[in-house]
Structure 1
Amino acid sequence: MRSETMVSFTKNMLKLDETLEALLLEGLGVQGQSVRAHLDLLGHFVWLSHYGLPPVTEASETMQAHYDNTMNTMIFQHEVEGLEVRLADGRWVAVPPEPGTFTFMAGEQLRVATNGRVPACYHRVRTPSNRERFAVLFGLVQNPGVEVRALDELVDEDHPLVFNPLKHEEYVEWRYSEEGFKVDDALKAFCGVEKVTAMV
């Protein structure tokens, strides 16, 4: 019964996720045929996450701030707060765990696919109530061996290429290497047309 529930959940979420991704891209001017071709290159994942009691610190942080290296991630929180996103002005905002809602977050792959027009969402998990936390994560990611590249419609004279193509598995390996940890914007350092330098 549990496996049937997960299969049903996954099928429904895949339809919803692809619809949201398509709406986003179409809103940027990508044509329907290009959107479908883009979606056909993606796989999907489901993570069931359990966060234990947060460490006894002022931050109460159970997952440090980061960008997801996916195309996108949808997060379903169960009753206990935790998800926080950073706004453009640097402020952190809590995303309440309201029943029947989810949070759609752009990942680093979407930043590449949209030629930098959609920034990846910087987020963390912080649980001030000091309770255990459960969440379900569903998202899209480029299939192994397939390059993530900017969609043709999003590269022109007014919007020159920002990122060179990348392969997900190669980027992930580099991102969590000693070299990858030295830079503030790992994605730009790895495949940006204009490279960034290491942090001092």
Structure 2
Amino acid sequence: MVSETRTKIPAVDFSAEGLAPGREAWEKLKPEVLNAVQEYGCFEIIYPAITKNERGEFFGRLKQLFELPVETKRKNSYGKPFHGYSGQHPGFPLFESMGIDGADVFQDVQTFSNLMWPEGNSGFSETINSFTKKLVDFEKIVRMMILESLGVGNYHDSLTDSLKTLLRVIHNKQPPTMSVSAPGIAPHTDMNFLTILLQDEVNGIEILTKEGQWIPVFPSPNSFTIFCGDSFMAWSNGRVCSPLHQVTLTENKERFSAGFFMIPKAGWMIEAPDELVDEEHPLIYKPFDHFDFIRSYYKDTKIPAQDVLKQIAGI
């Protein structure tokens, strides 16, 4: 049940000029970020380097994409779990989603765009690629701050080499009636490393707190929400948490959102560094490959969403 109180996840303001490792503003924000990812596994972030106009253009392109016929959208297939088109599910009739693998690479976005619009749509490719490149820079800043807070900032570059991008865009159709709230996306944890979530003006995200309460997330129109995923939780040896979250539709409007996922590359074994394992923090997850982890989940979808990491990779 969603809490009636206006409990909020932490909000962190990244608008300080010259925000960089070692500077005063950076050091001031680090404990706020660490507390957020340890207590909630997520936080709201104000990041003005991505402007309101850029967000507006981005969401305009998403609306254009989801207006395409279903048979066209179903061409979005990469042969990888959670990468291609998903929708038309009887349990979640208002939900549909598509994935753009490697959206920070212009050629990859153009390949996707040409599949959706054989006649070409250069504006879509340019907008999505430009926006995603800014999210890449944004994610590196957030990840470095978390790693430094954990005392393992020296792993930042090697992690960058071990991760790839996936832009997953989501459309929740307008509910036929709002006499009751409608399910938008089922409860789940993100299985990747880090997620940057952005949504239009229609809210819907809810997270489950450690106290077992569902609380709604009310981000400001120009902010983002950062989520730590299962892979990061395992790599950090449980120092950060991967929160259970869902989407519940409470407004009689369609909703557009996007998740920018940093995903471990196939073949990279996710394993906690020695610096994060000691007598006080014994190793709690065995090494695993991200895609093997997802396949294991697909084989046993009866595992409760909040227990996936523990049951598949727990020691």
- In the superposition, the TM-score normalised over structure 1's length comes to 0.89
> Conserved in 2, the CA contact under 8 Å of 1:111 and 1:120?
yes
CA drift of 1:54 comes to: 4.4
Give 1:75's aligned amino acid.
L
* Secondary structure of the structure 2 residue equivalent to 1:102: strand
Deviation, 1:187, is 1.0
Residue 180 of structure 1: how far off its partner (Å): 4.3
1:145 is aligned to 2:261 = no
User: 1:73 maps to what in 2?
Assistant: 195
Whole-angstrom CA distance in 2 between matches of 1:130 and 1:141:
33
Q: Distance in 2 between matches of 1:182 and 1:137?
A: 23
2: distance between equivalents of 1:10 and 1:16? Answer: 10
Once the two structures are aligned, what percentage of the paired residues are identical? 33
Q: Secondary structure at the match of 1:176?
A: helix
The answer to whether the Cα contact below 8 Å between 2:219 and 2:225 also exists between their aligned partners in 1 is no
- Tell me if the contact between 1:25 and 1:35 (Cα under 8 Å) persists in the aligned partners: yes
- Alignment equivalent of 1:101, drawn from 203, 210, 223: 223
1:166 corresponds to 2:288: yes
In the comparison of the two structures, how many residue pairs are matched? 191
User: Partners in 1 of 2:237 and 2:264 — Cα distance?
Assistant: 16
Q: Give every structure 1 segment of 4 or more consecutive aligned residues whose post-TM-superposition deviation is greater than 2 Å.
A: 53-59
Structure 2 unaligned spans of 5+:
1-122
Distance 1:189 1:166, change over 3 A: same
Is 1:46 the equivalent of 2:167? yes
Cα distance in structure 2, aligned partners of 1:77 and 1:173: 28
Unaligned runs of 5+ in 1: 194-200
Larger Rg: 2
Instruction: Note the aligned Cα RMSD (angstroms).
Output: 1.7
Q: Which residue of 1 aligns with 2:79?
A: none
Cα offsets for 1:139-170 (capped at 9, x unmatched):
21100121111122111122110101111111
Alignment check: 8 A CA contact 2:228 2:242 kept: yes
Q: Kindly provide the amino acid, as one letter, of the partner of residue 307 in structure 2.
A: D
**Matched letter for residue 44 of structure 1:** T
Distance 1:126 1:70 in 2: 22
